[in-house]
Structure 1
Amino acid sequence: MRFYTLMVGALAGLLGTGCVRRQFFQPDARLDATAPPPATADSVHRATAGRQYARHGGLYNALVGRHHRPTWAAPVAAPVLHLATAHPGGLTPGKVGGGFNSTSLSLSSADGRAYVVRTVDKDPIRATPELVRGTFLVNVLRDNISSTNPYAALVVPPLAAAAGVPHASPRLFYVRADDPAFQTDSLRHFRGQLAYLEEKAAPTTPPPAAIINSTKAFAAAFASPEQRFAPTDLLRARLLDGWLGDWDRHPGQWSWAVTRPTEAGPAALVPLPKDRDMVLYRLDDGALGWLIGHVFLRHWATFGPRYKNPSGLMSSGHYLDQRILNGLSRAQFRAAAMAMQQRLSDTLITRAVHHLPPAAFALEGPRTIASLQARRAALPTLADGFYLGLARRPRIGGTAQAEQFIIERYADSTVVTVRSLAAGAMSVPLLHRAFLPAETRLIQLEGLAGDDVFTVENHGANAASKPAIRIYGGAGNDEFRAGNGGQGIRFSQESAPVKRAYDKLPEE
């Protein structure tokens, strides 16, 4: 603690003030901002994403970290954004938004597709408590944006396409300081800055029936078995997250495509990743950055040739992973990782990293390529650790409709099957999975609502009593049939505690 206090004090001294710096951000992305570009300009040849991050010296970089500071200050070329011509038929401004850091503007097109333009540089002050907004800690949080690579999102599309993961295709633009479309006070953060324009949700083929957020997707899945998540799709997306070092994958970073039901099955909820701001993240190359990333905020995982903290790297997506991937086996995790390895060739990786602007590639390209190749080789190991972390205490839930939960105890495993009672015994199970005592300590089953049936069957005199099983019936008139089994199993007609409930809606 004394070491941490000394470093924070030294950091405050290096920042030069105990108060928030009023002029923290660059006023204009162009290096030569004294003469505005002509209204007909097609490109700005000397613009930077955030040269304020590179104004520090060697001592500061040794303490805090060099991060991606040179890349933020590297001159790049970007077309001038004209909403009337950026998309066929033009783009119409809509609602101003933004998450933890970014400022974004929703746009609609003549063909009905939704787009968004968001600033490359970010300001985390909106996520800081009021008590610290006037202190040097705001300077620290703002400076930490240098841990992100401002152009990493440009690398993702070809890699995601090869991995079979839906993706947006961001385009880099410069927003003129005098652009009439950005003169309202709510859009002041766009003026004179670099920004990304992309489709609001990753497009899929065929077009979905609807695109919804995580809260609506989980509410639909908890309500009825007629809408089910696509677990293999999410597994591919999550392995891609890990490979790219994208640790910020909480439920708010996903949309969901609702497919139309077919004769073969119900509607599926297909994951659509978005906001690739934390790809190629680098924090631990300074003393304070190392302390933050390895002790205090371990999910802020630094990208490099090794997976330094794989459990922290994958932890932000735990809500999704625990509820959607619980029906997949260890072999399926490994097979998905090996398939991804085959799709991500050296040629593809090199071509994708060359999507960085030339000045950024000169600084980061070769190192990024080598790291992606090394991480690709270790993908099966990442997948295996990911699986084991989820297998330790799986949580399995039904829906608000009536389901049958069958727990079969064998000498070497416990098999759980969940079926919809309304669909009949021959229906495709909602879940069918074998759990091994060496991997799983406790299985939590939740009936949610409806008149559910829980059946326990022992197969053989030496049927396993582990893993332990905790059953919450929830609302409804449930039936519990222990038969000749029941050892290691506890049943409660009550609902699970709210904080740990399977059907607790996500926080976006």
Structure 2
Amino acid sequence: MNKYYRFLNFSVAILLSSCATYSPKYAEKSSEPSRFDNSSLSRKRIHKTFYLIGDAGGDKDGGSTYALDAFKKVIDTAQTENDYAIFLGDNIYDAGLPSKNNPERAEAERRLDIQVAAVENFKGKTIFIPGNHDWYADGVEGVKRQEKYIEDALDDKEAFQPENGCPIEMKSISDSVELMIIDTQWYLEDWDKHPTINDNCDIRNRTDLFLEIENEFKKNNEKTILVAMHHPMYTNGIHGGKYGIRKQLYPSQSNLPLPVLASLVTQVRSQGGVSIQDRYNKQYNELMQRISVLARDTDKVIFASGHEHSIQYIEHDGIKQIVSGAGAKNSAAALGDDGLFSYGGQGFAILDIYEDESSSVRFYAANQGEPTLLYTKEVFAPRKEVNLDSLPEIYPETVMATVYAQNNTDVSDVHESLWGDHYRAVYGTPVTAKVATLDTLMGEFTVDRKGGGHQTRSLRLKDKDGRAYNLRAVRKSAVQFLQSVAFKEVFVQEEFRDTFTEDLILDFYTSAHPYASLAVAELSDAVGIYHTNPSLIYVPKHEALGKYNADYGNELYIIEERPDEDFLDVPSFGNPDSIDSTDDLYENLRKDEKYQVDENSYLRARIFDMLIGDWDRHADQWRWARFDSDGKKIYKPIPRDRDQVFSKFDGAILGLLKTLIPASRQFQNYDGDLENVKWINEAGIKMDRALTKNSVKRDWIAQAQYIQDNLSDEDIARAFTKLPLEVQDVGVDEIKKSLKERRGNIVDIAGEYYDYLASLVVLTGTDKDDHFEITRNDKETRVQISRIKDGEVQTPFVDRVINSDETGEIWIYGLDDDDSFKVSGEGKSPIRMKIVGGQNNDIYEIKDGRRLKVYEHKTLPNTIKEKGGASFKMSNIYSFNTYDPLKKKSYANNILPAIGFNPDDGFLIGINDVFTTNGFKDDPFSSKHTVNGTYSFATESLNLKYEGSFANAFGQWNLIVGGKFTNEAFSRNFFGFGNETVNNDDDLGLDFNRVRNGEIGAHIGVESDNTFGSRLRFVFNYERIEIEPTGGRVIDDASLFSPDRSNFFGGQSFIGVEGAYTYVSADNQANPTRGMDFATIIGAKRNISDGSRMYAYVNPKLGFYNALSKNRKLVLKTLVQAQVRIGDDYEFYQAASLGANSGLRGYRFNRFTGESALAGSADLRYSFNRFSTGLIPIQIGVFGGGDVGRVWLDAEDSEKWHNDFGGGFWLNMIDTVSGQIGAFSGEDGVRIDFRFGVRL
């Protein structure tokens, strides 16, 4: 026991040694300003300067702050005409800008005024961004109030960003600098508390924010991007878990020292992320992990943040983080992980970006209002000039080239049978292509920037007239695909290069014909569908390619127009009045009924997708030609990016994957029929439901018939002459044959898809006043949607008759403004319907509400004239009340295998099957069903468990139901009651203490998951346990049990109630370096086989992960867990017990049994660097530690504590597959166990 206390004291000493301080800290002494030579920086020509200060709204003495005074002195003496001053949030403490009638309003205004006064002489642009405290005054409404106040004070309508409480704003500072402003508190807010949070925003869900950040990073990859956001990506201040020594002694603001309690409070706060404002809170961590991965794929990104009342500079995994939140307050800071500088006093930062694209940052302290330079650091080095001297000056007119080297397409018969034939031969066949350099290509081109895409490597080109083209490499990128699709929260691109996995994906890409898109334009013309005009060229490395020679050139490319406003004169785009993106289309459809989709054109395009087997039809694969006439604005589709047509997904392994993983069923082998209309349209069905409001089955059939009648054999033959001559005989005849056969089946295919699509109908109004006239009968439902103008209902712009034989459910969204819903009809069993009123005061007049649910905001006004028996669901649940065109009915099934070994079970195999459904309730699921099964070879026991969770069955609470079953061979251990029982394994064998028992059980209850990491659940449960008589084992020893407790063999039934609270936080779930695991289970059980007997129980646990080294590779993991039984009427298998995974890893399961138990564990874990194995990146680590614990029994007088020690190693394959093997030695000997499994 003394050893254990010494170990704890040692651990505490280590933790205290990493405390934060208020004085300046430098990673290297040479970085101190007195020894730092910044003369090379001072000689450079500055392009732009950003003055950065945050958290400046917290002065206490009624005047300005030292930091603001120093800030003003610097900018008043600088040339600032083209510069920017950015206030990084928390502009008003403690709770933002209240309404004008609030007594705190005057003080809040004063705090803003002193910040405005600090920039009164500033000649550049001033921008305020919101922080978490600015949201505390009425949420988004308070943010909007502050926005208006700042704009008026500075006489600048763009002085507060982002506008309207929205999440992101982009500012193009110059040709080489971009400013991205993110309101991070928008992401962290509980949207259910703010029904109108995104009312005036283009982005209405968190996923779209990441897509927007990704797109903007790609669009501006050539620039230095400054990301201004209140919450830092990385921090070594309080919110990053770094506390001063005072916090280890004083848990509150009082001067009463409570060192033990204070250390525990600090530990919980620093490692647990219990506050949403702490860096390693679950929600905060999720936000930053996603942004960091996107940023690491971008060349020059700098993050500038406040939040911490300190100034810091951190470089972590290539991420550059400036923290400047010491505008009014100060708090301790440390260097921590990859910190280069920190200071816990008031101050600010200045970022300089130079003409040579390099950058540097300066940090100033505010000593009594005087600016004092503390630290200067180069952030990015100057751009590197590419040596082009070795490039040739003359190029041939044509070359012979392949997509893949021929030796990479020669595979064995076994490989071909397993992975498929694909179009591998085409990828290795040399083709003749025209050589094109940018300065000679169709006039003269320049590179605008790198392109996007999850698979493609592309460049955005501009011609001499400024029109944009896409230059797309025929050879795709495997690591780019893995990063953007499979590993969104872990940066893995470098580890996957030159691995078998990369080669396998590159081989998988051969399922798509590399040149098939060249034939699509001719096929599209034949049936009147707009299209781009791709051409195949060979681009060598050459001078005009400039710095892009490093990653591009000397390969085959497809070049085509990028449909936008510069190509309105192109006949294949229809010579429209405008060309818009899909996002613009959605916004305009919401805005006004004058915007409409030509649904027949869209139906034809989608049927054509199925004709040519194009399964990759997500929203960004479309542009929209707009035609303005007679006050209407009609959109027609322009499909683009046709690189997945005529795909050849063959091979035995893919066939197996389609059985195990439903999502892979969208990969269908192109032939004369269509294997599954559902899965090939998985990417497109969301748009289909959103854009085909008026179309019925006959419309789909008519467009399919048009394609069938107008696409001739001659058209097909002519289209495939556009492919390179050398591959026109390599598989093309088979494609043409299948295309003709599918043309013959296309009417049936279209009808079949409509039947699937029509099972759910989604209809929407506009963001203006709309009237919904709904007539419901048994056979059909008619929905008419009209605008209300000047109080009069106009002609319907949606008029849909929905057949009950086709449709099982209808969702209707009113969207914004004041809508009216009139529902009538005489149907006894009409189609199920959900109406979502949306914003503002909606009016309901429902004559017959059978099978009708209405979702409305609980806190917004609505007028219900008549319910008619409809079920009104009044809540502020954001996902219920908001229209999302991506929402659909779907399901997914994940089977996660596992294996393991321990002495009690022997070898174990396990399966965890998670089946998830999504529908109207989809945050994060509508229902989730988990089946877990394990089989033990040593005992031949089977253990099955099931739990189903049904989302929002009772408001924010999910309904949970579950059950369990074990066969009669299932075993648990029993060594008798007490803390000093004997283990005679060596003499009697392992079986002696195994008690065989069959169990069945069921539970029902409710559960609430908090997005911040906590879970609360309450359940009622039933279980029946029957002990199997086994001669010669411990269960036959009657002396171990009192006379009234020995009748096990007849079986016992129990009912009970249980409540559980859990909170889990970790910076990385697979390999935490910082985290907390807390749980408390409280319950009671009654033996209904003997109704007089019942007991209660409490099982708490608390664990932490603490990094002990600066590089966070050495981590201390600690865990304390306890079990308490209240009352004596429990069976031996319900008692408190210790052993194996319940404490004391060096002992068998249930080794010690008593009325209460306590165990503590401490491990030192060391993680080695992740490395590539040729298959998948792997990280391994080692651990060593020990446990100490005991049980208590009233009838026993024991002072003994049991302990063990040991260690092992673990491995982690990029957070998806993990395993561990350990060996721990206690009084009973050495116990070895291992486990290895797949995790989501």
TM (normalized to structure 1)? Answer: 0.85
Matched, 1:380 2:747: yes
Q: 1:457 maps to what in 2? A: 824
Matched, 1:504 2:891: no
The alignment-based identity, stated in percent, is 28
Q: Kindly tell me: are residues 43 and 249 of structure 1, through their superposed partners in 2, closer, same or farther at Cα, counting changes over 3 Å?
A: same
- CA offset at residue 167 of structure 1? 0.5
In structure 1, distance between residues paired with 2:795 and 2:539: 52
Q: Kindly tell me: are residues 191 and 496 of structure 1, through their superposed partners in 2, closer, same or farther at Cα, counting changes over 3 Å?
A: farther
Matched, 1:250 2:613: no
Please say if residues 449 and 476 of structure 1, whose CA atoms lie closer than 8 Å, have aligned partners that are also in contact. Answer: yes
In structure 2, distance between residues paired with 1:57 and 1:247: 29
In structure 2, distance between residues paired with 1:80 and 1:446: 53
SS at match of 1:367: helix
Deviations 1:447-489 (A, max 9, x none): 111100111122xxx5353211111111110111113x22222
Q: Kindly tell me: are residues 293 and 500 of structure 1, through their superposed partners in 2, closer, same or farther at Cα, counting changes over 3 Å?
A: farther
Alignment of structure 1 residues 200-349 onto 2, 5 Å: 200-201=562-563, 203=570, 204=572, 207-260=575-628, 262-263=629-630, 265-284=631-650, 286-293=651-658, 295-296=660-661, 297-349=664-716
In structure 1, distance between residues paired with 2:688 and 2:396: 47
Please say if residues 439 and 544 of structure 2, whose CA atoms lie closer than 8 Å, have aligned partners that are also in contact. Answer: no
- CA offset at residue 319 of structure 1? 1.8
Matched, 1:126 2:480: yes
In structure 2, distance between residues paired with 1:422 and 1:363: 62
Residue type of the alignment partner of 1:61: E
- CA offset at residue 335 of structure 1? 0.6
Matched, 1:153 2:517: yes
- Give the structure with the higher percent strand: 2
In structure 2, distance between residues paired with 1:348 and 1:298: 30
Residue type of the alignment partner of 2:653: L
SS at match of 1:218: helix
Residue type of the alignment partner of 1:362: D
Please say if residues 437 and 467 of structure 1, whose CA atoms lie closer than 8 Å, have aligned partners that are also in contact. Answer: yes
Matched, 1:66 2:421: yes
Please say if residues 71 and 363 of structure 1, whose CA atoms lie closer than 8 Å, have aligned partners that are also in contact. Answer: yes
Please say if residues 103 and 189 of structure 1, whose CA atoms lie closer than 8 Å, have aligned partners that are also in contact. Answer: no
Q: 2:444 maps to what in 1? A: 90
SS at match of 1:362: coil
Please say if residues 118 and 197 of structure 1, whose CA atoms lie closer than 8 Å, have aligned partners that are also in contact. Answer: yes
Please say if residues 577 and 626 of structure 2, whose CA atoms lie closer than 8 Å, have aligned partners that are also in contact. Answer: yes
In structure 2, distance between residues paired with 1:392 and 1:307: 20
Q: 1:407 aligns with which of 751, 767, 774?
A: 774
In structure 2, distance between residues paired with 1:446 and 1:496: 16
Please say if residues 393 and 442 of structure 1, whose CA atoms lie closer than 8 Å, have aligned partners that are also in contact. Answer: yes
Please say if residues 822 and 845 of structure 2, whose CA atoms lie closer than 8 Å, have aligned partners that are also in contact. Answer: yes
In structure 1, distance between residues paired with 2:530 and 2:599: 14
Q: Kindly tell me: are residues 110 and 294 of structure 1, through their superposed partners in 2, closer, same or farther at Cα, counting changes over 3 Å?
A: farther
Deviations 1:49-89 (A, max 9, x none): 223541322111111111000001111111001323322x4
Please say if residues 613 and 670 of structure 2, whose CA atoms lie closer than 8 Å, have aligned partners that are also in contact. Answer: yes
Q: 2:430 maps to what in 1? A: 75
Q: Greater CA deviation, 123-132 or 350-359?
A: 123-132
In structure 1, distance between residues paired with 2:792 and 2:739: 47
In structure 1, distance between residues paired with 2:791 and 2:537: 55
Deviations 1:410-452 (A, max 9, x none): 4531111111113886744221111111111111111111100
SS at match of 1:454: strand
Matched, 1:41 2:390: no
Q: 2:812 maps to what in 1? A: 445
In structure 1, distance between residues paired with 2:834 and 2:438: 56
Q: Greater CA deviation, 367-376 or 208-217?
A: 208-217
- CA offset at residue 295 of structure 1? 4.4
Q: 2:800 maps to what in 1? A: 433
- CA offset at residue 334 of structure 1? 0.5
Q: Kindly tell me: are residues 498 and 64 of structure 1, through their superposed partners in 2, closer, same or farther at Cα, counting changes over 3 Å?
A: farther
- CA offset at residue 189 of structure 1? 3.6
In structure 2, distance between residues paired with 1:326 and 1:348: 32
Q: 2:115 maps to what in 1? A: none
Q: Kindly tell me: are residues 440 and 430 of structure 1, through their superposed partners in 2, closer, same or farther at Cα, counting changes over 3 Å?
A: same
Q: Greater CA deviation, 229-238 or 469-478?
A: 229-238
Please say if residues 443 and 467 of structure 1, whose CA atoms lie closer than 8 Å, have aligned partners that are also in contact. Answer: yes
Q: Kindly tell me: are residues 92 and 210 of structure 1, through their superposed partners in 2, closer, same or farther at Cα, counting changes over 3 Å?
A: farther
Q: How many positions carry a matched residue from both structures? A: 462
Please say if residues 812 and 834 of structure 2, whose CA atoms lie closer than 8 Å, have aligned partners that are also in contact. Answer: yes
In structure 1, distance between residues paired with 2:782 and 2:633: 26
SS at match of 1:267: strand
In structure 2, distance between residues paired with 1:373 and 1:424: 55
Please say if residues 101 and 124 of structure 1, whose CA atoms lie closer than 8 Å, have aligned partners that are also in contact. Answer: yes
Residue type of the alignment partner of 2:745: A
Q: Kindly tell me: are residues 47 and 127 of structure 1, through their superposed partners in 2, closer, same or farther at Cα, counting changes over 3 Å?
A: closer
In structure 1, stretches of 5+ residues that fail to align are 1-35
Please say if residues 626 and 633 of structure 2, whose CA atoms lie closer than 8 Å, have aligned partners that are also in contact. Answer: yes
In structure 2, distance between residues paired with 1:464 and 1:267: 40
What is the alpha-carbon root mean square deviation over aligned residues?
A: 2.5
In structure 2, distance between residues paired with 1:309 and 1:243: 13
Deviations 1:318-360 (A, max 9, x none): 2211100132010001011001101111111111122222221
- CA offset at residue 257 of structure 1? 2.4
Please say if residues 96 and 187 of structure 1, whose CA atoms lie closer than 8 Å, have aligned partners that are also in contact. Answer: no
Please say if residues 855 and 881 of structure 2, whose CA atoms lie closer than 8 Å, have aligned partners that are also in contact. Answer: no
Q: Kindly tell me: are residues 438 and 230 of structure 1, through their superposed partners in 2, closer, same or farther at Cα, counting changes over 3 Å?
A: same
Residue type of the alignment partner of 1:504: D
Q: Kindly tell me: are residues 211 and 299 of structure 1, through their superposed partners in 2, closer, same or farther at Cα, counting changes over 3 Å?
A: same
Flag the structure with more relative contact order, 1 or 2, with Cα contacts below 8 A and sequence separation at least 6: 1
In structure 2, stretches of 5+ residues that fail to align are 1-390, 858-874, 888-1240
Q: 1:25 maps to what in 2? A: none
Structure exhibiting the larger radius of gyration computed from Cα positions: 2
Q: Greater CA deviation, 357-366 or 147-156?
A: 357-366
- CA offset at residue 168 of structure 1? 0.8
Please say if residues 778 and 831 of structure 2, whose CA atoms lie closer than 8 Å, have aligned partners that are also in contact. Answer: no
Deviations 1:373-423 (A, max 9, x none): 010011011111111111111111112111111111245311111111138
